Amino acid sequence: MRDSFLRELQATIDSLDFKAVSEEREPVLHLLVDYIQSKLQADQPIQLNFICTHNSRRSQFSQLWAQVAAHAFDIPAMCFSGGTEATAFNERAVASIQRAGFQVTQSGTDNPLYQVTFAEKTTPLSMFSKKYDDPSSSNSGFAAIMTCSDADENCPYIPGAEKRIPLRYEDPKAFDDTEEEAVKYDERSLQIATELLYVFSNIKA
């Protein structure tokens, strides 16, 4: 695994334990492993679009951690995220990734644009809330990875997707404005980090 990450982020990555991936989650994670592996072996672009309703929390976490995982294991994946509607990258989720060690700069207010850095020699990722078919994302030949039950159940067809994977996560929004807020956001972020790094660790380059 590469170790060229920002120092605090590297410490977070080093703390993750793949043994925390439950047996119940392994089958759906291996659907993603198989998809990435098949694209790599066919020498085709690897494009992953993580989709949730508002593109504010879980799908944003997933895009970031998938890109980190791709970098860690030197897999040429392009990771995107989107929603069935656009809102904003939730400020609580942004605070959580900062605690994990990402460097973040913000511009704008209503739907801010965040430049997120995870390694010194990489271009920052431009993160903002958008629909899954935003021009900044791929419009064909991608895997639609459904990170919430609402989007998965109410959006049965994703134009341009060649594979659909139901990788659902519980919403930390349930803990907004409670004493557990920061803990639960970090818990969800790190679960996603662990599972996506596990996925990329299983890819044979």
pLDDT in tens, 100-155: 999 999 998 889 999 999 998 899 999 999 999 999 999 999 999 999 988 777 77
Tokens representing 92 are 């609580």
- List of E strands, the chain: 46-52, 77-83, 103-107, 113-117, 125-127, 142-146, 161-165
Per-residue pLDDT, 70:
97
Q: In terms of residue numbers, what domain contains 182?
A: 7-201
Which residues in the chain come in under a pLDDT of 50? none
In a domain, 23, yes or no: yes
Per-residue pLDDT, 149:
85
Count structural domains, the chain.
Answer: 1
In a domain, 1, yes or no: no
In a domain, 180, yes or no: yes
Instruction: Tokens 């972020």: give the residue.
Output: 189
Per-residue pLDDT, 103:
98
In a domain, 186, yes or no: yes
In a domain, 31, yes or no: yes
Per-residue pLDDT, 108:
87
The pTM of the full predicted model, rounded to 2 decimals, is: 0.96
In a domain, 2, yes or no: no
SS3 101: coil
> Quick one: DSSP state of residue 194?
H
Tokens representing 114 are 């965040």
Domain containing residue 127: CATH number: 3.40.50.2300
Per-residue pLDDT, 21:
96
Per-residue pLDDT, 155:
73
Neighbour count for residue 157 (Cβ, 10 Å): 7
Crossing angle, helix 7-15 and helix 181-201, to 10 degrees?
Answer: 80
